[in-house]
Amino acid sequence: MKNVRFGVVGSGYFGGELARVLNQLEGSRVVAVHGGSRVVSLSEELQCEAIDRLEDMVNRDDIDAIVVASPNHVHKDPVIQAAKHGKHVFCEKPIALTSSDCEEMVVACRASGVLFMAGHIMHFMNGVRQVKQWILDGEIGRPIVCHSERTGWEDQQTTVSWKKNNATSGGHLFHHIHELDFLQAIMGPAVSVCMAGGNLAHQGEGFGDEEDVLLLTLKFADGTLGTMQYGSGFRWGEHFVKINGTEGAILLDLKNSKVELNKGGYITSHNLNYSAEEDLERAQSYQKVDSGVAYGTAVSKMPHWLATLIEKEMTAFRDAVQGKPVQESLQSLFDGTAATTSIVTAEAAMASLRTKKWVSL
């Protein structure tokens, strides 16, 4: 097995954990880390180099692939530089904050003949894999309408994170793009979108400028529909996806950590995560915050259920770099589909919010 050598851009909550996981995987080693206030301590922990300049990282001959986990608005440069220097690339979601940047990143990797994996980690959930299989097996017939909510409430902050401003995070729709990606993975790419919303309760000192209420309607090519609610302006927080078909329905309950198939009134339940312990851990975390919009920080402890998903995600990337075939269910993460579809739709939704009109994609 070829030992894949990685460089990691970003040393925060996700960047740090991605690096730790890569350094522990068989056939994988982190050579260098770059970027962020904790880069030195991370390098010391992993016994690798801390590099000040991105150019010095992508120029190294002893690095095969670059993992990009910097803040959302600064993904483009490291991805394109890595591609130009022949490095395979993994990029955290959202891939970019504009469709033009996203397309440029995908094209740069294709032109250089390197892999480009989109970091949509939701695809690695046990429950999501089960949902895909149920739909593939025709358990609910033809999906006709879906609804998703990722909502909660946020109080005034002593320090406002980059995650709370549209220019750096893209706001809730981009930063929490998982459900928008998942709905389109199930229903197909949206052909038009309409969104209403605004910043209704989080203005002034101690808050960012992102909209705290976003209400979306999606139309798909076959006439089916989807609706979504996002934001931190909801005192009653929810986190779920419901998929209704001609013969049954599916509930992906991320708040209570379960997945249910309802067919003819008979309900079949499965784990959302990979063990009952991980499901309990996740469900208990929602009891503490009652919100689908919680954020990790560089000093937060990574929950076991999320660490498991990161390990599966990084294993898939390492395997692809080693030349192993990509699973069919994960092809969209490697062929540009998941990256571009989610960003194009999110961008169109924000345009709809501004113009107060339906926007075609």
Look up the CATH number of the domain holding residue 249.
3.30.360.10
- Under the banding of pLDDT at 50, 70 and 90, the label for residue 2 is confident
Is there a single domain that holds both residue 84 and residue 202? no
Range from 94-108, 238-252, 290-304, 314-328 carrying the lowest mean pLDDT: 290-304
Is there a single domain that holds both residue 167 and residue 232? yes
Q: Is the pLDDT of residue 292 over 70?
A: no
Is there a single domain that holds both residue 173 and residue 291? yes
Token code pair at residue 131 = 């949902």
* Dist. CA 111–CA 17, nearest whole Å: 30
Is there a single domain that holds both residue 351 and residue 253? yes
Q: Is there a domain that residue 212 lies in?
A: yes
Is there a single domain that holds both residue 143 and residue 284? yes
Is there a single domain that holds both residue 49 and residue 102? yes
- Please tell me the predicted confidence (pLDDT) of residue 286: 87
Q: Is there a domain that residue 350 lies in?
A: yes
Is there a single domain that holds both residue 104 and residue 249? no
Q: Is there a domain that residue 323 lies in?
A: no
Which residue, of 93, 119, 145, is where some domain finishes? 119
Which residue, of 72, 99, 119, is where some domain finishes? 119
- Please tell me the predicted confidence (pLDDT) of residue 291: 64
Q: Could you tell me where the beta strands, DSSP code E, fall in 232-287?
A: 239-245, 249-253, 258-263, 266-271
Give the DSSP per-residue string, 218-235. Answer: EEETTS-EEEEEEESB-S
Q: Is there a domain that residue 153 lies in?
A: yes
Q: Is there a domain that residue 311 lies in?
A: no
Q: Could you tell me the pTM of the whole model?
A: 0.96
Which CATH number fits the domain that encloses residue 37? 3.40.50.720
Note the pLDDT tens digit of each residue in 30-54. Answer: 999 999 989 999 999 999 999 999 9
- Please tell me the predicted confidence (pLDDT) of residue 297: 64
Q: Is the pLDDT of residue 290 over 70?
A: no
207-228: average pLDDT: 97
Is there a single domain that holds both residue 76 and residue 201? no
Q: Is there a domain that residue 327 lies in?
A: no
Inter-CA distances, 136 with 90, 251, 345, Å? 28, 16, 24
Q: Is there a domain that residue 23 lies in?
A: yes
Residue 3, judged by CB atoms within 10 A of its CB (0-12, 13-18, 19+), counts as exposed
Return mean pLDDT, the chain: 95
**Which residues lie across from 249 on neighbouring strands?**
244, 262
Is there a single domain that holds both residue 193 and residue 286? yes
77-105: average pLDDT: 98
Q: Is there a domain that residue 354 lies in?
A: yes
Is there a single domain that holds both residue 348 and residue 281? yes
Q: At what angle do helices 304-321 and 13-24 cross, to 10 degrees?
A: 60
* Dist. CA 258–CA 122, nearest whole Å: 14
Q: Is the pLDDT of residue 111 over 70?
A: yes
Is there a single domain that holds both residue 109 and residue 51? yes
* Residue 356 one-letter amino acid: K
Which residue, of 85, 104, 119, is where some domain finishes? 119
Q: Is residue 68 classed as helix, strand or coil in its secondary structure?
A: strand
Q: Is the pLDDT of residue 152 over 80?
A: yes
Q: How many domains does the chain have?
A: 2
Residue 87: domain span: 4-119
Is there a single domain that holds both residue 33 and residue 111? yes
- Please tell me the predicted confidence (pLDDT) of residue 294: 72
- Please tell me the predicted confidence (pLDDT) of residue 300: 72
